[in-house]
């Protein structure tokens, strides 16, 4: 049963706008843009009034000859004083920066290499800081440096749980999704609105933390304006998240992206509903020395406890969930349908995590520090003054190592073993122990071959002895492309087409490879793939738009972009 809220509340406004978005999309976006522009106007109004007021006062005093003229001067003095006070509060408010571990390039070179590789595809603004934190979130955040978002600090905000639950390939897709969204090459309006929502949430938190009366006017403004902004722009935010998925298709294919989305969302739900409650139950039993510490144990638990049945059950629950009126993320089923994926399977298990690959030598130190902070914040140690923690960063030039006892070493070696240690905390970063890091890799992963490589070798052996089925042949060809290169894969794809000349996925793969090599014949092949399989239209159009843009044919590039946008809007 649908329940209707007070039409004058933020929730009621959002419900009323649902119908407008579905029936009059252009009118809705005009209204959302107007609401966003109102916020910018209100912030710019006070410095502008202060500036105008100075000239009004000086001019009025020079020409005032009557009592009413002097009254006008006094009125402008009052307006200017109020505007100046508010402008001063905007200039001096301290916007809270996200907390976490800052990573310089020398601490995680492979992560920076991955970012630079992805940035070659998108025109991403400069990333000022990379922060690793303990939430299962991956985001790009622009933090205003003062009360007007004219100068900002761009922060890549990476959750360690995200790195632990995704493979390197899937993390690349998830990261490409966010960096592409942040570039706003094809989603300028929705991302302008999306970014302003980010700013307002940050302003509201920052002004709520201040107690000085000079900040009260803006505190009241954001108290009432931010919920209204949420209500008027929630569909614009969801559209921007949909566009972020389309950006990711320039790096990974639709099946891989579906796996990325499912792996991340299911893991996030599993951690929220099963893992963290269990950890806190252990903590309540022994608040000083809990049986497990969260981050050192997370990857092993995800691999063992998130079984196929558990994954399927969690996925089913998520697919049936609908977003709330203020949730800027669209439904899971909507995102998957938008990229043309309806046949859903459990992604392969994560044998090597993105955390191990991309954090490198910093991997063990990051885990230790976040576990120490978690225990200091939630355990018995938080009552001690000596255990207060601050924003720990690997960006500091000088570091103070923390000595680890034998119990800590035991935890380091075996993520699944109970942690029998009393963690110490520090406000300075922990130096990475290269021996510990290499020991962790050998004890946990040396016997494990990546699942894709195992599959590739199995199919290669089978192909040498017997005929592969069409699905097996296609999978073998895609794995050949990954492990032996595009030239070898083309040969495999051509063999499939000799058996079935209308196999759409194979035709699409051939067209994609040819287009990546600037071979114009790839255009006709992708067009044929789109005729055979409507599910690949959006992705193929993005590739063709990019190709024609690179060749200087802006007209054709624009037409393919419009075609992709129409497919996205109809999805």
Question: Which tens digits make up the pLDDT trace of 20-63?
Answer: 888 899 999 999 999 999 999 988 999 999 999 998 888 888 88
Virtual torsion, Cα 175, 179, 181, 185, nearest 10 deg = -140
| 345 pLDDT more than 70 | yes
- Is the pLDDT at 392 greater than 70, yes or no? no
Rounded Cα gap, residues 468 and 433, in angstroms = 47
Confidence of residue 450 (pLDDT cuts 50, 70, 90): low
pLDDT digits 0-9 by tens, 423-446: 333 333 333 333 333 323 322 323
User: DSSP string covering 386-401, please?
Assistant: GG------TT-SS---
Query: DSSP 3-state assignment of 446?
Result: coil
Phi and psi of 249, rounded to 5°?
-70, -10
Contacts 24+ apart (CB under 8 A), 83-87: 83/45, 83/46, 83/47, 83/49, 83/50, 83/53, 84/50, 84/53, 85/214, 85/217, 86/46, 86/214, 86/217, 86/218, 87/46, 87/47, 87/50
Measured CA angle at 570 (ends 568, 571), to 5 deg: 65
Tell me 351's DSSP state. Answer: S
What values do phi and psi take at 43, rounded to 5?
Answer: -70, -40
Q: Quick check: 469 pLDDT over 70?
A: yes
Whole-number pLDDT of residue 389 = 35
Band of the pLDDT at 570, cuts 50, 70, 90? Answer: low
- CA distances to 158, 292, 344, 371, 389 from 432, in Å: 19, 22, 40, 15, 19
Sheet holding 152-159, edge to edge: 101-102, 129-133, 152-159, 138-144
Positive or negative: CA dihedral 29, 34, 38, 44 = positive
Indicate if the pLDDT at residue 249 is higher than 70. yes
Give the SS3 label for residue 111. helix
Torsion of CA 484, 487, 492, 493, to 10 degrees: 130
Distance separating the N- and C-terminal Cα atoms of the chain = 26
Strand partners, 141: 155
Q: How far apart are CA 256 and CA 115, in angstroms?
A: 19
pLDDT the model gives residue 487: 80
CATH class, 451-570 region: mainly alpha
Contacts of 563 (CB under 8 A, 6+ apart): 537, 541
Is 568 within 8 Å of 538 (Cβ atoms)? yes
- Interval 113-165: pLDDT, tens: 999 999 989 988 899 999 999 999 999 999 998 888 888 999 999 999 999 99
d(CA 375, CA 364): 17
Write down the pLDDT at residue 381. 53
Higher pLDDT, 345 or 291: 291
Residue 91 has what pLDDT?
A: 86
User: Which of 15-19, 204-208, 248-252, 406-410 has the lowest average pLDDT?
Assistant: 406-410
For residues 222-246, average pLDDT: 93
| Sequence-distant (≥ 6) Cβ neighbours of residue 15 within 8 angstroms | 4, 5, 325
Q: Say whether pLDDT at 8 is over 80.
A: no
pLDDT (mean) for 298-326: 87
User: Regarding predicted confidence, which is higher, 411 or 374?
Assistant: 374
Q: Which residues, other chains included, contact 102 with Cβ-Cβ below 8 Å and sequence gap of 6+?
A: 129, 130, 131, 393, 394, 395
The 8-class DSSP code of residue 346 comes to P
Q: What is the DSSP letter of 429?
A: P
pLDDT category of residue 324 using cuts at 50, 70 and 90: confident
**Phi first, then psi: what are they for 369, rounded to 5°?**
-65, -45
Query: Strands 129-133 and 101-102, how do they pair?
Result: antiparallel
C-alpha 479: how far from chain center: 27
Name which of 471, 462, 536, 531 is nearest 500 in CA terms.
471
Q: Give dist(CA 404, CA 391) in Å, integer.
A: 21
Domain regions of the chain by residue span: 10-92, 97-447, 451-570
The model's pTM is 0.66
- The rounded mean pLDDT for the chain is 81
413, pLDDT greater than 50: no
Mean pLDDT for the stretch of residues 449-470 = 79
| 253, 508 Cβ separation under 8 angstroms | no
């Amino acid at each position: 049963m649908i329940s209707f809220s007070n039409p004058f509340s933020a929730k009621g406004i959002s419900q009323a706008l649902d119908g407008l978005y579905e029936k009059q999309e252009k009118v809705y976006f005009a209204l959302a843009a107007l609401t966003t522009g109102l916020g910018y106007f209100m912030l710019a109004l006070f410095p502008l009034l202060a500036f105008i007021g100075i000239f009004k006062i000086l001019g009025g005093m020079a020409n005032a000859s009557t009592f009413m003229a002097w009254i006008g001067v006094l009125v402008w003095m009052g307006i200017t004083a109020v505007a100046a006070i508010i402008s001063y509060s905007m200039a001096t408010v301290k916007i809270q920066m996200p907390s976490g571990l800052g990573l310089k390039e020398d601490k995680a070179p492979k992560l920076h290499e991955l970012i630079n590789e992805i940035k070659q595809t998108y025109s991403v603004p400069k990333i000022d800081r990379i922060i690793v934190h303990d939430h299962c979130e991956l985001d790009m955040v622009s933090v205003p440096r003062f009360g007007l978002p004219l100068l900002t600090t761009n922060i890549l905000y990476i959750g360690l749980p995200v790195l632990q639950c995704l493979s390197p390939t899937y993390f690349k897709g998830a990261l490409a999704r966010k960096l592409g969204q942040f570039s706003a090459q094809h989603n300028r309006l929705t991302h302008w609105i999306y970014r302003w929502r980010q700013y307002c949430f940050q302003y509201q938190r920052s002004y709520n933390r201040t107690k000085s009366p000079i900040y009260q006017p803006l505190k009241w403004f954001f108290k009432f304006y931010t919920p209204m902004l949420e209500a008027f722009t929630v569909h614009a935010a969801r559209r921007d998240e949909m566009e972020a998925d389309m950006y990711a298709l320039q790096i990974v294919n639709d099946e891989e992206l579906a796996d990325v989305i499912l792996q991340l969302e299911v893991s996030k739900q599993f951690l929220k509903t099963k893992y963290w409650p269990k950890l806190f139950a252990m903590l309540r039993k022994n608040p000083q020395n809990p049986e497990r510490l969260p981050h050192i144990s997370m990857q092993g638990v995800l691999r063992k406890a998130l079984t196929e049945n558990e994954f399927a059950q969690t996925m089913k629950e998520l697919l049936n969930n609908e977003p709330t009126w203020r949730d800027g993320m669209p439904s899971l089923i909507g995102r998957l349908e938008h990229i043309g994926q309806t046949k859903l399977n459990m992604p392969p298990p994560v044998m090597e995590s993105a955390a191990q690959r991309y954090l490198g030598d910093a991997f063990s130190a990051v885990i230790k520090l976040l576990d120490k902070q978690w225990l200091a914040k939630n355990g018995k140690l938080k009552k001690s003054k000596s255990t207060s923690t601050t924003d720990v960063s690997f960006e500091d030039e000088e570091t103070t190592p923390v000595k680890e006892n034998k119990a800590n070493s035991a935890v380091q070696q075996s993520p699944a073993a109970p942690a029998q240690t009393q963690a110490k905390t520090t406000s300075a970063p922990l130096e990475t122990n290269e021996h510990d890091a290499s020991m962790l890799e050998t004890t946990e992963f040396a016997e494990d071959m990546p699942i894709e490589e195992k599959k590739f070798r199995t199919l290669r052996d089978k192909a040498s002895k017997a005929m592969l089925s069409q699905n097996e042949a296609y999978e073998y060809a895609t794995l050949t492309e990954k492990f032996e290169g595009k030239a070898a894969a083309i040969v495999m794809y051509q063999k499939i087409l000799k058996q079935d000349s209308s196999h759409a996925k194979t035709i699409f793969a051939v067209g994609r490879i040819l287009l990546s090599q600037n071979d114009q014949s790839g255009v006709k092949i992708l067009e044929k793939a789109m005729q055979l399989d409507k599910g690949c239209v959006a992705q193929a159009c993005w590739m063709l738009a990019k190709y024609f843009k690179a060749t200087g044919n802006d007209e054709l590039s624009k037409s393919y972009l419009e075609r992709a946008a129409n497919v996205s809007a109809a999805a």
